[in-house]
Amino acid sequence: MNIFVSDRDPEVAATNLDDKRVIHMAKESIELLAMFLLKYTGIQHILPIVKHQEPLSEMMNHPIFLWVCKDKFNLTWLFYHTAALLDEEVERFGVAGISTKYFKRLRDSIVPYLESHIALYTRLDNNEIKFYNCTYLSGKDVVKNYRKYLIKKWETTDKKTPTWTQSDPPQWYRKNLELFRKES
């Protein structure tokens, strides 16, 4: 379970991801939103979307889920990130995947827990939202750490070269790719 915070802006963070992660992270993000609803309303909307090896009780104690629940703005960031991932999926592949159906099922139930879009971006502009403890890559600059992490995955761990259908890779990927290769 993860949220790839490759940009402070949830919509840009979605466009930064390669095709593989756009699809996969939409599913994981929807699962996190559904877990939030289960925890705070008792309504089990769509869990589980995907089968996990760990039980639901362990997933609810996962650091990523705890970050989502910690602050209304964290939940709002994830909600807009999820919507952007689904928009990316349609933009890149010309069709909405199964995740869009699940998102629509939980959207109306989760909206009352969110801050406004304007409030989210005001806090982002004022550097008020902290991504500390939202990931295993916490530190002074979570965005920078996630970008490094993604480059490493794209260059060493993934079996296929990353693709961005109907779009270009993020500029930071191209800029830092040579630096990564020199360090490796």
**Can you give the residue range of the structural domain that contains 163?**
10-183
Calpha distance 44→159 (Å, rounded): 35
Tokens of 122: 């005001």
- Residue 5 belongs to some domain of the structure: no
Q: Which residue has the tokens 């800029």?
A: 175
Task: For residue 2, tell me if it sits in a domain.
Answer: no
What is the number of domains present in the chain? 1
Residue 21: inside a domain, yes or no?
yes
Residue pLDDT tens, the chain, 184 long: 788 989 989 999 999 999 999 999 999 999 899 889 888 888 776 655 545 556 677 788 888 898 889 888 889 999 999 999 999 999 999 999 888 888 988 888 898 888 877 777 777 766 655 555 444 445 567 788 888 889 988 988 898 889 999 999 999 998 887 777 777 6
Residue 173 CB coordination number (10 Å): 20
Establish if 67 belongs to a structural domain.
yes
Residues in the chain: 184
What residue has token string 């750490």?
Answer: 145
Q: Could you write out the three-class secondary structure of 95-111?
A: CCCHHHHHHHHHHHHHH
CB-CB contact of 152 with 6 (8 Å): no
